Amino acid sequence: MKKLYLTRMAPNPRKVIILLQAKGIDIDDIDDIDVIDIDMTKGEHLTEEFRKINPLQLLPVLVLQDGTVLNDSQAICEYLDRVYGERSVMGNDVVQRAQVCSIRRTAEFEVLYNFMLAFQHSHPSKAKRVDQVPEFAAKSIKRAEKVLPYFNDILKDKDYLVGDQLSYADIVFYIGLDFGRLLKFDPTAHGEGIARFYNSMNERFGLKK
């Protein structure tokens, strides 16, 4: 039995959950994967027991049946996309996979990563693990906002970032926008294309309260 360690709220584990949802698969209904929920608010990812599974003490982590450990969300999503379901969310051919990779990296490093940096440098829960520089939070948010016209231009006449169907690039961009809400960022206030995209994705994949 494979073991998938995750938390349901954090952005990197959400990539895994939403990728499978996009393929019509409930992460809790896969016969050969045992999903193990880790409570980060209680520091369960910081225990010595979890360190033995992933020395980086980050989530998600997928342990395969032969003991192979995948401790990066991108690697886990690549694996799950190829092994489960029929339609690939990573792209249907070489060119499309390259396009998805390109836009996904921009969404990840320019939007999601900057919001995560802002959160790390401003949220009290991170004070013990990060040498916080409060003024860095506002600068990180501005860097994320600076790239949004690029995405809005792509989405002004399209539902998705690549081609005519949902891809992993859409998932990462949506998660970045949604995570920004923790920083009082409004995903619907940065162009009609982004607003329409966010509302559509959030209706389908938004966290249930």
pLDDT at 132: 73
Q: What is the mean pLDDT of residues 139-152?
A: 97
Tokens 């998600």 correspond to 60
Give residue for tokens 């949506």: 174
Alpha helical stretches, state H, the chain? 11-22, 48-53, 73-83, 94-106, 113-120, 134-146, 148-155, 168-180, 192-205
Local confidence band at 160 (pLDDT 50, 70, 90 cut-offs): very high
pLDDT of the residue at 110: 98
Residue ranges matching CATH 1.20.1050.10 in the chain: 94-205
Q: What confidence tens digit (pLDDT) does each residue in 65-94 have? A: 999 999 999 999 999 999 999 889 999 899
Eight-state DSSP code of residue 86: S
pLDDT in tens, 30-70: 999 999 999 998 989 999 999 999 999 999 999 999 999 99
pLDDT for 122: 86
Bin 68: left if φ > 0, else alpha if -120 < ψ < 50, else beta: beta
- SS3 (DSSP) at 31: coil
Assess if CATH 3.40.30.10 describes domain 2-84. yes
Residue 36: phi and psi, rounded to 5, are: -115, 110
Q: Under 8 Å CB-to-CB from 59, ≥6 apart: which residues?
A: 5, 6, 7, 10, 12, 13, 38, 40, 45
- Average pLDDT of the chain? 94
Mean pLDDT of 100-104: 98
Q: Rounded CA gap, 153 and 146, in Å?
A: 13
Write out the residue limits of the CATH 3.40.30.10 domain(s) in the chain. 2-84
* Model confidence pLDDT, tens digit, residues 107-141: 999 999 999 999 988 877 675 676 777 888 999 99
Q: What is the pLDDT of residue 207?
A: 86
pLDDT of residue 127: 59
Nearest 5°: the CA angle 16, 100, 67 is 35
Which residues, other chains included, contact 120 with Cβ-Cβ below 8 Å and sequence gap of 6+? Answer: 126, 130, 132
pLDDT of residue 87: 87
Which CATH class for the 94-205 domain?
mainly alpha
- Mean pLDDT of all residues in 183-194: 97
- pLDDT at residue 209 above 90? no
pLDDT at 120: 86
